[in-house]
Copies of this chain bind each other. A is one copy, B any other.
Amino acid sequence: YLGAIEAGGTKFVCAVGDRNGNVRERVTFPTTTPEETMRHVIDFFRQYDLSALGIGSFGPVDLNRNSATYGYITSTPKQKWANFNFVGEMKRHLNVPIGFDTDVNAAALGEHLWGAAQGLDSCIYITVGTGIGVGAIVENQLLHGLTHPEMGHILIRRHPDDPFPGNCPFHGDCLEGMASGPAIEKRWGKKGAELAGRTEVWELEAFYLAQSIANYILILSPEKIIIGGGVMKQEQLLPNIRRHVIDFLHGYVQHETILQHIDEYIVSPGLGDNAGICGALALAIQALDKQ
């Protein structure tokens, strides 16, 4: 068996599966303290004979293999998890190769292998939920650099009619500060799910997401853009986003995929809610093969 963990700020998904991305068993635990949550995680995996483990984790995380804190969750606002040695703790209990990356990089990898970006050299996976995160495959590899990208925090232009100051503790009105689920709730005074009928809400949301996607296109030029997360449950959003992306690019990127096939270019996850956990499975495969 291959093991997989999708570690989120509200819940942990643990699964075992195979090389083809099939999930055999899957459980969910709430994210409480590292002690409690990890006990559940370890107890789950103890039932199986694992050959490798993949972890897609909320962050920021340290992915630098030469660093003393490789495999740690680093400076997260979730105090109890700050400086938690995630890979170290798993290694202590399960002596198998471990692949470790961000939750969104894992999801991008899952979609690349088995989902909406199969057969392409590049894609990005955007989640719009409690936060906004983006993972990327470029030239057939997960994108890393100095640290992992933090594309949810890019600076954007505010809409001239939007007085909301933004709720990112670092930047105020960065993308996440203006367009995450909690930002929507704070701006309009209601949860996103209760604002379904208010077209102006989703028009503005699409404006911010599309603007950021236009910049991701100009900077990374991905071959597929996959967008999921709780906020995207609003089905009116995706068509609005596509329309605004075309507007923002204004004919600059002369490619038929954008100009004529935008409906197949900016899409929902092919793996649905399983992108993250399948991606963690893919990280396990990579760890096994690299061994």
Q: How far does the alpha carbon of A219 sit from the alpha carbon of B223 in the complex, in Å?
A: 16
Q: Given that A155-B215, A211-B155 are contacting pairs, would A145 and B252 also be in contact in the complex, using a CB cutoff of 8 Å? A: no
Interface centre among A139, A218, A220, A222 (most CB of B within 10 A): A218
Q: How far does the alpha carbon of A134 sit from the alpha carbon of B146 in the complex, in Å?
A: 18
* Number of identical protomers: 2
List A residues at the B interface (Cβ < 8 Å).
60, 74-75, 121-122, 134, 138-139, 141, 143-151, 153-158, 170-171, 211, 214-223, 248, 250-255, 257-258
Top 9 nearest A-B pairs (CB, nearest first) are: A145-B221, A170-B252, A122-B145, A154-B215, A139-B141, A146-B221, A150-B218, A146-B223, A151-B219
Given A138-B139, A139-B143, A156-B157, 13 new contacts (CB under 8 A): A121-B145, A138-B143, A139-B139, A145-B220, A146-B222, A146-B257, A149-B221, A151-B218, A153-B252, A154-B214, A155-B157, A157-B158, A171-B252
Chain B residues, CB < 8 A from A221: 143-150
Q: How far does the alpha carbon of A121 sit from the alpha carbon of B139 in the complex, in Å?
A: 13
Name which residue of chain B comes closest to A222, CB basis: B145
Chain B residues, CB < 8 A from A143: 138-139, 220-221
Chain B residues, CB < 8 A from A219: 134, 149, 151, 154, 215-216, 219-220
Q: Given that A150-B218, A155-B157, A155-B215 are contacting pairs, would A250 and B145 also be in contact in the complex, using a CB cutoff of 8 Å? A: no
